[in-house]
Amino acid sequence: KGRRCVRYKCGLHNTILDVLRQRPGWVEAKDGDWDFNWCSLAYLRENYDHSYLEEHVRINHFRNHYELSRKNLMVKNLKRHRKNLERDIGRTEASQCDFFPCTFTLPSEYPLFVEEFKRTPGSTWIMKPVAKSQGKGIFLFKRLKDIMDWKKQDGSRSEEQKDAAQVESYVAQRYIENPYLINRKFDLRVYVLVTSYVPLKAWLYRDGFARFSNTRFSLSSIDDMDMHLTNVAIQKTAPDYDPEKGCKWQMQQLRKYLTAKHGREMVETLFRRMDNVFVRSLQSVQKIVINDKHCFELYGYDILLDENLKWLLEVNASPSFAASSQEDYEMKYRLLEDTLNVVDMEGLSGKEKRVGGYDLMWNDGPVYREDVTLETLHSSCFTANTHLCVNDREKQLRWLLKPFPG
Ligand SMILES: Nc1ncnc2c1ncn2[C@@H]1O[C@H](COP(=O)(O)OP(=O)(O)OP(=O)(O)O)[C@@H](O)[C@H]1O
């Protein structure tokens, strides 16, 4: 049987284009007709609603991906999901969703925010524009007066202007003041691929990386964004940034470090807890995302660790595939190749639990894996209870002591 020809369209000019170009049997779509489209979010917005999608075609976003990737909507959906769980199952179950920092959308929730702000005097907050990325427009503050300029600006707008500026809303979020440090502050970028929302089918990528700040962490200088924001877009503007040394560790390196320092068991628990973050956050939008068999989504999760272990900062629907070093390029190349293999399913039976670096994490329920070893495990070892209950042995472990915040 001859190899099938797939006509692809690609809206990005980086690693993904290289991967598509080198895929055997895949050719760039010459006219408007395509079988596979890796498009930008702008393309999706402009075209999706007016396009007829043939039965077999695939596209790399769900129509309303922003329900998870816009900072305010993510929190809104998680809060609602938590409330529903509390009502339907109970408090313990609901507390499994307590992995996002206390967050308010401004200006609409300003009075609620002020109430919370006053309840914990002296704490640090972070303001982030809901629809921007790469650290743009972010600042830290400790006093209400520090956000007065922003508030004044908003107050002087007419209602119409406010509507037009809706996309420029902010979230005020509690700043995680005691991040887990490896000399520097870092956060984790983890990739999760969703191939269907109903039923939910999600794959977790074993590789990923930690993004370090270049500057030693201290809460005394809250104006130094190089210190507090660990995303690469910010770090590479630092004067002493070295792209080859970079400010990244691959996930395996981080695993090794943490294992040496805290032991295997704790590292397994950490990664298992992150699975909980991924699955619960996807479940929180499961009924809201417009499920469409043509669509898949490769999310980039940003996770911050502290003594409570894991905090979800945000979910990117369009994570950067631009590479900061050769190692980074190779990792992203493999990630995208494996993503296409999962989505394409050419030569696969559909029953696989592992494809390249991907482990099937959720398939309308937890996925049981028998062949998990520490080297390969990125935590997909759900068992009936482990993702719901706190394991007793964990209680002995130092920075696992607090089961869940809140
Ligand atoms: N609540 C928080 N506590 C501590 N640090 C935070 C918090 N929120 C964000 N940060 C830091 O700021 C960085 C940028 O935040 P975030 O990812 O939410 O913004 P962004 O502009 O959308 O960035 P990007 O899209 O490039 O990931 C994070 O990588 C993290 O280092």
Query: Is-contact 315 301, C-beta < 8 A?
Result: yes
Q: Atom of ligand 1 at shortest distance to CA of 213?
A: 31
C-beta 381 within 6 A of ligand 1: no
pLDDT at 155: 58
| Cβ pair 322, 243 in contact under 8 A | no
Q: Are residues 139 and 221 in the same domain?
A: no
- Do 171 and 185 fall into the same domain? no
Q: Which of 72, 304, 307 to mutate to test the pocket of ligand 1 (most atoms within 8 A of CB)?
A: 304
Residue 25: how many CB atoms within 10 A of its CB? 10
- 278 lies in the same domain as 353: yes
Q: Is 317 in the pocket of ligand 1 (CB under 6 A)?
A: no
Domain end call among 157, 175, 193: 175
Answer whether 100 contacts ligand 1 (Cβ < 6 A): no
Cβ of 342 less than 6 Å from ligand 1:
no
Among 175, 207, 223, the domain-final residue is 175
pLDDT at 377: 40
CB 77 within 8 A of CB 280: no
What is the token pair recorded at 15?
């690693």
Cα of 109 from ligand 1 centre, angstroms? 21
For residue 173, what pLDDT is reported?
96
Q: How many domains does the chain have?
A: 3
Report the CATH number that the domain containing residue 164 is assigned in CATH: 3.30.1490.20
Residue in 175, 302, 303, 324 to alter for ligand 1 test, most ligand atoms within 8 A of Cβ: 302
Q: What is the pLDDT of residues 57-79, one digit of tens each?
A: 999 999 999 999 999 999 999 99
The pLDDT value recorded for residue 124 is 95
Hey, what are 362's tokens? Answer: 């959720």
Q: Which atom of ligand 1 is nearest to the CA of 176?
A: 3
Residues 211 and 346 in one domain: yes
Q: Are strands 58-59 and 36-38 parallel, antiparallel or unpaired?
A: parallel
Q: How far apart are CA 224 and CA 354, in angstroms?
A: 42
Contact 128, 173 (CB under 8 A): yes
Can you tell me the distance from the alpha carbon of 211 to that of 188, in angstroms, rounded to the nearest whole number? 6
Answer yes or no: is the C-beta of 235 below 6 A from any ligand 1 atom: no
Contact 348, 135 (CB under 8 A): no
- 152 and 200 fall within a common domain: no
* Closest C-alpha residue for ligand 1 atom 22: 133
Q: At what angle do helices 264-284 and 251-262 cross, to 10 degrees?
A: 130
Find out whether the peptide bond into 111 is cis, omega within 30 degrees of 0. no
Are the CB atoms for 228 and 213 separated by under 8 Å? Answer: yes
Put simply, whether the predicted model's pTM sits higher than 0.90 gets the answer no
Examine the domain organization and report whether 141 and 244 are in the same domain: no
Collect the ranges in the chain with pLDDT lower than 70.
1-3, 151-168, 232-246, 308-309, 369-406
Q: Which of 182, 184, 190, 231 best tests ligand 1's pocket when mutated (most atoms within 8 Å of CB)? A: 231
Q: Do 102 and 174 form a contact (C-beta atoms < 8 A)?
A: yes
In a shared domain, residues 218 and 346:
yes
- 309 and 294 within one domain: yes
Same-domain status, 188 and 163: no
The answer to the question of residue 78 being in a domain is: no
Say whether both 144 and 207 belong to one domain: no
Degrees to nearest 5, angle at CA 395 with 390 and 400: 85
Between CA 187 and CA 390 the distance in angstroms is 24
Domain that holds residue 368: 181-400
In this structure, are 382 and 240 located in the same domain? yes
Q: Is 133 in the pocket of ligand 1 (CB under 6 A)?
A: yes
The minimum-distance atom of ligand 1 relative to the CA of 134 is 26
Which among 142, 175, 208 is the end of a domain? 175
Instruction: Note whether residue 193 is domain-resident.
Output: yes
